[in-house]
Amino acid sequence: MALFDLPLADLRQHRCATPEPADFDAFWAGTLDEARRLAAPAVLSPVDTGLRAVDTTDVTFTGFGGQPVKAWLNRPADVEGPLPVVVEFIGYGGGRGYPHDWLLWSAAGYAHLVMDTRGQGGGWRAGDTPDPDGSGPQTPGFLTRGVLDPQTYYYRRLITDAVRAVETARALPFASHVLVSGISQGGGLALAAAGLSSPGDLAGVIAGVPFLCDIRRAVTITDRAPYAEFAAFCRLNPSRAALALSTVDYVDGAHFAARITAPALLSAALMDLTCPPSTVFAAYNALRGPKELELYEWDGHDGGQGHFSSRAVAFANGLI
């Protein structure tokens, strides 16, 4: 790895050059209104994991189009009374896995809702939520699934799931505050869910090296997956490239960031070929509320690893 993106001084000023679609707000309002109209109460089933310090619940809530989405809910065992809830979204290709894969936030004293990722779970951690065609977990990619129309685009469905996960967390009877969190694709989903939530719904936003930001720039400056999937699609379908680019404008994290007023912690890594630092700065510089950036000058997409986890916990503790 080596430095390949803009100089740091330019990164600190960088903003997304792509205007948001004129109907961006209407598009998402209509999508979410339909999901809420078709929503059913969440189903919560206790799970015996053998973990004495953690109580685990298998959650099924309704996401895009009223379709069922799985999640794990971990919380400190035998703790009565209100708890803050962290809603976490998962990186590209991964599913919810097992409850014991997700112990950081419950160990820190939070309830932790981990949303499964529809159709994913064949890359590095198993998943349990199909995409609407009935397909279960599959190996990536997803970046161009349905990309010729915003209405059919995969990330329209997944982002709607993320917003509904936040709404499910807020409805938990013990929830005192709700935060969103994620790394890479999960960070991009955290930004999207925060941007589409009402002001005051979230106590904080944590997005490590987020994916899906300044997408038009990203697909031209890195040949690393997942963005390479988009370039490959356009290379084979050049007459459809403009249409595909107009679709991804509806899911760009920089556009969602411009609607976020909750306190936010982001991270960027200067040698990150997967989510180039300029794309992260495009989202960070668009944020409208209090914000912090953890910058890793020598890291790639690992983005600080355990160090960022400790920063995330300290950040959340400072908000609650």
Q: From the candidates 181, 184, 267, 278, which is the catalytic residue?
A: 184
14 in catalytic set: no
- Convert the pLDDT of each residue in 298-316 to its tens digit: 999 998 889 999 999 999 9
User: Quick count: other Cβ atoms within 10 Å of Cβ 177?
Assistant: 19
Q: What is the pLDDT of residue 2?
A: 86
pLDDT category, 136, cuts 50, 70, 90? low
301 in catalytic set: yes
pLDDT category, 27, cuts 50, 70, 90? very high
User: Quick count: other Cβ atoms within 10 Å of Cβ 179?
Assistant: 28
Q: Determine the Cα–Cα distance for residues 210 and 15; give it in Å rounded to an integer.
A: 15
Model confidence at 249: pLDDT above 70: yes
Helices 185-196 & 154-170 angle (0-180, nearest 10): 60
Model confidence at 239: pLDDT above 90: yes
User: Quick count: other Cβ atoms within 10 Å of Cβ 206?
Assistant: 29
Is it true that the peptide bond before 226 is cis, omega within 30 degrees of 0?
yes
- The mean predicted confidence, pLDDT, of the chain is 96
Q: From the candidates 116, 161, 214, 272, which is the catalytic residue?
A: 272
- Convert the pLDDT of each residue in 152-162 to its tens digit: 999 999 999 99
Model confidence at 125: pLDDT above 80: yes
181 in catalytic set: no
Instruction: Find the mean pLDDT for residues 200-212.
Output: 97
Instruction: Find the mean pLDDT for residues 245-249.
Output: 98
Model confidence at 132: pLDDT above 90: no
Beta bridge partners of 175: 83
